[in-house]
Amino acid sequence: MRVKLYIEGGGDRKNDLQRRFREGFRKLFENAGFTNRMPIIIAGGGREHTFNSFKNAFAAASEDVLPVLLVDSEDPITTTQAPKRSSIEWEHLKQRDGWTRPYGATADQAQLMVTCMETWIMADRGALAAFFGSELRERALLPVEKLEERPRERVQQSLSQATRDCKNAYQKGTRSFQLLAQLDPEILKQHLRYFHRLIETLNRYC
């Protein structure tokens, strides 16, 4: 089975940013044990564009290809009306974005970064300390407990505040993908329920 992972971000044009995007995710998945069974990483660009690319790939996929959507949840997961736990991700996307689950798509084909990629970054304090050095203001970081329940604006603001005195202060784009490549997946799995779900899903199909 070949997994094609359609991931939100990386811009809408093929350029150096997309290359760095793919390198960051590739390294993260290598660190998670997927070196010889790597999913195909596709930079989806904007949120709507990513979903549309996934839908088109899903409609055209052969039996040996599994398209998987990976986008920010944007908001904490509060959906409780799904008929089964495994449907919560699709229900969240329906309620928040108005996206209809493609007929035949499985629960595993909707994966979320809750609430955004910065949540992953903030979960690994060792990687942050190594990347930003002694000027990192660790007290400005949010507690790792219940990180996925924090609004994305608060997560992003906290990360900016904690690194504002650093020479390489955090910024979306190149800096975020450099950090992504240095994260420890075991630490993320420990603190982030939806990251753990993503890795479990990839282990089943890759």
The arithmetic mean of pLDDT across residues 133-162, rounded, is 96
Domain match, 78 and 157 both = no
Q: What is the mean pLDDT of the chain?
A: 93
Residue 72's φ and ψ, nearest 5 degrees, are: -65, 145
Q: Report DSSP state, residue 9.
A: B
Instruction: Name the pLDDT band for 82 (thresholds 50, 70, 90).
Output: very low
Domain match, 167 and 127 both = yes
Query: If you count them, how many residues does the chain have?
Result: 206
Domain match, 31 and 111 both = yes
Domain match, 63 and 83 both = yes
Parent domain of 126: 118-171
Domain match, 23 and 97 both = yes
Domain match, 57 and 132 both = no
The arithmetic mean of pLDDT across residues 82-105, rounded, is 85
Domain match, 53 and 148 both = no
Tell which residue, 174, 135, 178, 154, has the closest CA to residue 76.
154
Of the chain, the end-to-end C-alpha distance in Å amounts to 6
Domain match, 131 and 108 both = no
Residue pair 2/38 in contact by the 8 Å Cβ criterion: no
Tell which residue, 41, 61, 181, has the closest CA to residue 120.
181
Q: How many domains does the chain have?
A: 2
Tell which residue, 118, 102, 122, 119, has the closest CA to residue 110.
102
Domain match, 106 and 198 both = yes
Domain match, 95 and 160 both = no
Instruction: Name the pLDDT band for 79 (thresholds 50, 70, 90).
Output: low
Joined tokens for residue 36: 């010889």
Residue pair 126/165 in contact by the 8 Å Cβ criterion: no
Indicate the Cα dihedral angle 158, 71, 178, 39, nearest 10°: 150
Domain match, 129 and 184 both = no
pLDDT at 146 over 80: yes
Q: Is the peptide bond before 106 cis (omega within 30 degrees of 0)?
A: no
Domain match, 143 and 183 both = no
pLDDT at 80 over 70: no
